[in-house]
Amino acid sequence: MRAYLIAIILIIVVSGVKTFAQVSEVKTPAYSATPQEPPARDNSVQRVEKLRAQLRDIQAQESEAQARLRQIEIELEPENIQRAISHIGSFKPEELREQRRLQLESERTKVRLQLEQITENRMKLEAAIPEAIAAGQRASAVPPPSEQAPSSAANENKKSIYTSSSVRPAELKAVSPARRRAARQTRKRMKLR
């Protein structure tokens, strides 16, 4: 009986260890089937999508404000003001009409200000989207740091090429204008000697 219980406990322990090992293992693929974009590119794409979503929201707000402004303009017509207060009984309907007109004009002013702010925000977003796209393209065009910093020996070779008198215009095409001027001045100095 003891041997039987020990065997059962041993089986439970071994199967528990196997189960624990299977659960704790993190399975990661050895390779990715799709190429990953650099993180800067992902961030810029997300930023552009966020800006576009904000632009859609702003455009919806703008159209709602424009619709409300048109509705207020219609309500401000004298016959519509008269119709709005006709169901209210009063001994002074002129005061009611004036009060309603002032209320609508105040609301129209508020909606116009809101519309101006919305239009301003929309214009800023429309300008920010191309900037974000360009920033994303610049970020994806920047080579990794290992490719950016050439060795000091390579820098010395470049300096000697640019300052020597044997530099030809064909070799200067990929060189900055400041370096071209420096090379021309060096050639002139060499000719004067």
* Structure confidence by residue, pLDDT tens digits, 74-117: 999 999 998 888 878 778 888 899 999 999 999 999 999 999 99
Q: How far apart are CA 88 and CA 134, in angstroms?
A: 60
Where do runs of H (alpha helix) occur along 76-176?
78-85, 93-141, 145-148, 152-163
pTM of this prediction exceeds 0.85 = no
Residues in the chain where the model's pLDDT stays below 70: 1-5, 7, 10, 13-41, 142-176, 193
Going by C-beta distance under 8 Å and a sequence separation of 6 or more, which residues neighbour residue 111? 65, 68, 69, 72
